[in-house]
Every structure is written in structure tokens, then in C-alpha cells.
Structure 1
Amino acid sequence: MINSYIFFLLSHCCLELYLNWSQIFQAECYHYLFDAAIKIHQMGLDWSTPNHGPIQKFRGVLGCNGNVKMVVKAGMDNSDNGTGPLPRCIVLDIEGTTTPITFVADVLFPYARDNVGRHFSATYKTAETHDDIKLLRAQVEDDLKQGVDGAVPIPTDDAGKEEVIAALVANVEAMIKADRKITALKQLQGHIWRTGFENNELEGVVYDDVPEALEKWHALGIKVYIYSSGSRLAQRLIFGKTNYGDLRKYLSGFFDTTVGNKKETHSYIEIAESLGVDKPSDILFLTDVFQEAVAAKAAGLEVMISIRPGNAPLPDDHSFKTITSFTEI
């Protein structure tokens, strides 16, 4: 193939030499065109095609480790690697999938619990905190009707700031202890964590294989989204300041519990409709939670389960494909 490039380019060079009759231009022409032929071939481009398309549908992607890898575009057949077509979209869970469970359980949750009182005291009169309190009041009222453990009545504003905050703190601590996936708690946690990230008290953590995978998928044109029970604000905070820097440039959007519970099928139907794919199977969903995998599969999504240290065990008879690293995708 490269010989045909060189022959074509050198024939043009000969015409240029005939017209210019200059030894200097002769040397420059040969050097430039020969170098161009080499570079075109190395880039995997074929000058003989109308759009200078990639040879054999491949292109090189520079990974985080500096190695050039041969990959195919989203939606193209990847049968040479035995994995079939690549997904058009990938939706990622956070805890146990991109990020160690220990970071959430041992860093984020304790930070929110230890700072909830301080946060309410400092922001009590702001519109944002007023909205947080309104959501918490509604949730606690429902919890009291349902007999949820740890729920205590929140007095009206007439009772005074300190009494209201004390009741709020008691309820929030109980919610955190029970690891409840409810919007009222997750929205508040996001606002508390924002202070921690802004004050350099918090830094997001991702597994070592995550940044390179995000970079590769981005280069392939695969849209990557996050779906977590944590608020969208919290998600942006975690990926905006990680042990590998700001990874948000590789992400196309964020979904949280406002789209629905992660263990319910309709949530994934809503996500598929929001992403505008031709069919739900164009989306690959990665999670560490079996019930979430079942719900996503019922909605028609492709599903893989992440096996990471500390993740909950799976049923012995599950039928899902599992991975231990994003490099397996």
C-alpha cells in the first residue's frame, strides 16, 4: 500500500520539478512528499478514498500510559475482538463501579454526618437550604406515617432555629446510617460535600483503570453518562476533582434519583428515552448491584456487573457478564 502512495506522490513531484527546474525545490519536494506519504500511512488514512477514510475502520488512540491502541468507532462491528458492536452510550454507576465503596462509606458519608449541623447553621437563611429543609420535612412526615426507625418530628420555624436544626440533624444522621437512597438526603449531602471540595477537604477517588477507559471511549465517540443515587451535584463534584484530575470532560451527562429509583425498570426506560438511542440495547449499563442489573436488563439495556473489592456477592445462578476492570470492555 505504501508503495502506491509513494509512486503517486513522486509522480506529482516530477511534474513540479519539470516546471520549476530548481535543484533546491527538487530536494525540498522529495523530502516533503516522502515524509507526507509515511505519515499518511502511519495515521491509517487512505488518500485513494473520497473522504480519506480510515484503513480497515481502525484508528489509533493514545492511552493514558502513552501507548497507541487500535480501536473502532462506536456502533461499528468489533467482531475481530470477539465483542460485537461497541455501544453508542455507556451509563456508569459510581459506588463499587468507578469508585471504591470505602470512599463513599468511610469518607463522604462521615463528612456529611459530621458537618450537617454546621452546614445548617451557616446557611439556614439561604434559599437553597430553605428548599433542602422543605424536602426533608416532607420526607420525615411520610417516614413518621410509615413508622420508619429514627424519624423524629421537625418543629415549625416558630420553635426557633436551634430546635429546628437539632431535629433536622437527628433525622439526617438516621437516614445516613440507614444508607437511604432518597432525594431529600442526597440533595442535602451534595450541598454539604460541595463545601468540602471547595475547601480542599475532599477529593474524589476512582479506580486506576477508569481514567484511561473514559479517555478511550471519548475518543471513539461513545457517550458516557453517570447514574447514581447521589445527586447530580455530588456526581459532578466527585468527577470534577479526583485523584486523576478533572474527568468531567469525558462525561456527557448525569442522572440521579429524580429520574427514578435505580432498582426500578421504568428508571432505565426513562434514561433510554432521554438519550434518544434507536433501541435500549444501544446502551451499556455497568453496576455492582444485582437488582439494578435486573431492572436495566428488563428495560432492554445491555448490562455488565462490576466485581470490585468490597462489593456485595452475586447470586450463584445470575446470568450477567462480569468484569473486574474497565479494560475488559
Structure 2
Amino acid sequence: MAPVSAVLTDIEGTTSAIAFVKETLFPFAERALDAFLDAHGAEPEVAACLDAVRQAARPGEEPRAALRRWMAEDAKIGPLKTLQGMIWRDGFLSGEVTGHLWPDVAPCLRAWSRAGIGLYVYSSGSVAAQKLLFGHSPAGDLTGLFSGFFDTAVGGKREAASYAAIAQGLHRPAGEILFLSDVAEELDAAAAAGLQVCQLVRRQDGTQPSPRHPQAPDFPAVAGRFRLPAPSLSAGAAA
């Protein structure tokens, strides 16, 4: 097993509670959708998203109806994710929404960053939404710890080609990149591309352990299993 030079992490179920995304972020975006589109629908960025919605929607389906259907289906569709990210941005900036992060995550991220480990995010949520979550975390603004953010513009999270493309973009051997996720099928795809993988099995989220991959209950356990720097007790308390 090669030494890890970069960590690529999922968000939902890995750094943050699944319940936060499903019970806080998604409902907020659904409630705010009409008001957001009424206020910003003519702005170029939003208008471009709505054009993309029209192209992807069913024949004759209005954009707002398509967006609500996709929300109900939890569809991983680019313009939906982009619009959700814009709505969440307004919520974070207004203080209506605050982020969630498991308390073990920030101390490890800081320790790994100090040690020169490259940190990256790969999530089905848009890059803008990822930056909002880490920028408004309970541990402060963590975006400066990361060297890059990836969403499904690079490809689906259950496709090996996506992880190969990320490794190529990072200019690192795939075997030096450790991917963290709670979803076994995502880990399957990353492993097929040559990445090291570890499943986060957080009891609070009811994650089902996969016998196909190494497992850890939290980020300190990841550090121990893959010989990554661990935060000191004082640093962990401060974070």
C-alpha cells in the first residue's frame, strides 16, 4: 500500500450527517425555490440554468415542475444541483442555514493539511454548495484547507472513469490518493480506478458496512489505518 499523498472526500454521510442534507438543505431549497426564481430568474447565471432545465425536462414540462420532480426523486442533474447551490448560498449568507460537520473531521483535516497531504472534495452537490458547507462549518471556514473541489461535472460517482479523471487532474498516481465515502458503490468505482479507499461507517447515519472495503467509524480511525497524521488532543479540543 503506497503512502497517501492526497485525500479525496465525499460529504454526505462522510464529513456531514446524511440527515443534515436530507432534512435541512433539501427542504430549504424546495421551500425557497419559487421566491428565488422570482427574484433572480432573469440573472444570466440563473437563466442559463433554467435553459438547461428546459432541455433536460420532459416534453412540455415547465422548469419549476421539472425541478420539483427532480428534488422529489433526489436526481443528480447538473442544473438542479447548481440552482440548489445558489439557493443554499443565499441561506448561508442570510444566516437562515448553518452547516454541519462531524466534530472529528476538522481536526484531522487541519493535521493532514499541515503535514502536506493534499485535500480534495468530490460530491454530487455542486462545487459552489461544497464550498458553502465547508465555508460555514461549526469549525469555521475550512475551504482554505482544500486544493480542489469536484462535482458530477467530472462524471458520475459510481463510474471508475470519474476517479481516473480526478487522479489525472491532480497529477498524482491513483494509488497515492485515498477516497473516503460511506457508499460502497462509489468505493467500488474508485478502487477500480486504482485509488485507495475507506468506507466511513458512522453509526448515527445507519451506514451499512461493506465487506469489500476497509472501514473506519471516524476520521481519526482513518488516520490510524492509513498512517496519516493524527491531531493532538489540544488541537482537537481547539477545533
TM, length-normalised to structure 1: 0.65
What is the aligned partner in structure 1 of residue 214 from structure 2?
A: 321
Q: What is the identity, as a one-letter code, of the residue corresponding to 1:327? A: P
What is the aligned partner in structure 1 of residue 109 from structure 2?
A: 214
User: Is this contact kept in 2: 1:272–1:280, CA < 8 A?
Assistant: yes
What is the aligned partner in structure 2 of residue 171 from structure 1?
A: 66
Q: Which has the larger radius of gyration?
A: 1
What is the aligned partner in structure 2 of residue 262 from structure 1?
A: 157
User: Is this contact kept in 2: 1:206–1:243, CA < 8 A?
Assistant: yes
Gaps of 5+ in 1: 1-83, 145-152, 155-166
What percent of counterpart residues are identical?
Answer: 38
User: Is this contact kept in 2: 1:187–1:231, CA < 8 A?
Assistant: yes
Deviations 1:80-105 (A, max 9, x none): xxxx6541110000000000001000
Q: CA deviation at 1:169?
A: 2.5
Q: CA deviation at 1:202?
A: 1.1
Residue 101 of structure 1 pairs with residue 18 of structure 2: yes
Gaps of 5+ in 2: 224-239
User: Is this contact kept in 2: 1:139–1:184, CA < 8 A?
Assistant: no
Deviations 1:208-254 (A, max 9, x none): 00010001001110000000000000000010011111011211110
User: Is this contact kept in 2: 1:204–1:238, CA < 8 A?
Assistant: yes
What is the number of equivalent residue pairs in this alignment? 221
The verdict on how the C-alpha distance between 1:252 and 1:288 changes in structure 2, with shifts beyond 3 A counting, is same
**Please, which of 123, 133, 144 is the counterpart of residue 249 of structure 1?**
144
Residue 303 of structure 1 pairs with residue 197 of structure 2: yes
The structure 1 segments of at least 4 consecutive aligned residues displaced by more than 3 Å after TM superposition are none
**C-alpha distance in 1 between matches for 2:65 and 2:118:** 41
Residue 292 of structure 1 pairs with residue 186 of structure 2: yes
* Structure possessing the higher relative contact order (Cα contacts under 8 Å, 6 or more residues apart): 2
TM, length-normalised to structure 2: 0.89
Match runs of 1:274-285 below 5 Å: 274-277=169-172, 279-285=173-179
Residue 140 of structure 1 pairs with residue 33 of structure 2: no
Deviations 1:97-146 (A, max 9, x none): 000001000000001000111111001211011111011111114xx5xx
**C-alpha distance in 2 between matches for 1:269 and 1:86:** 18
The verdict on how the C-alpha distance between 1:186 and 1:311 changes in structure 2, with shifts beyond 3 A counting, is farther
What is the aligned partner in structure 1 of residue 120 from structure 2?
A: 225
User: Is this contact kept in 1: 2:209–2:215, CA < 8 A?
Assistant: no
Q: CA deviation at 1:311?
A: 4.0
User: Is this contact kept in 1: 2:134–2:141, CA < 8 A?
Assistant: yes
**C-alpha distance in 2 between matches for 1:184 and 1:129:** 9
User: Is this contact kept in 2: 1:209–1:327, CA < 8 A?
Assistant: yes
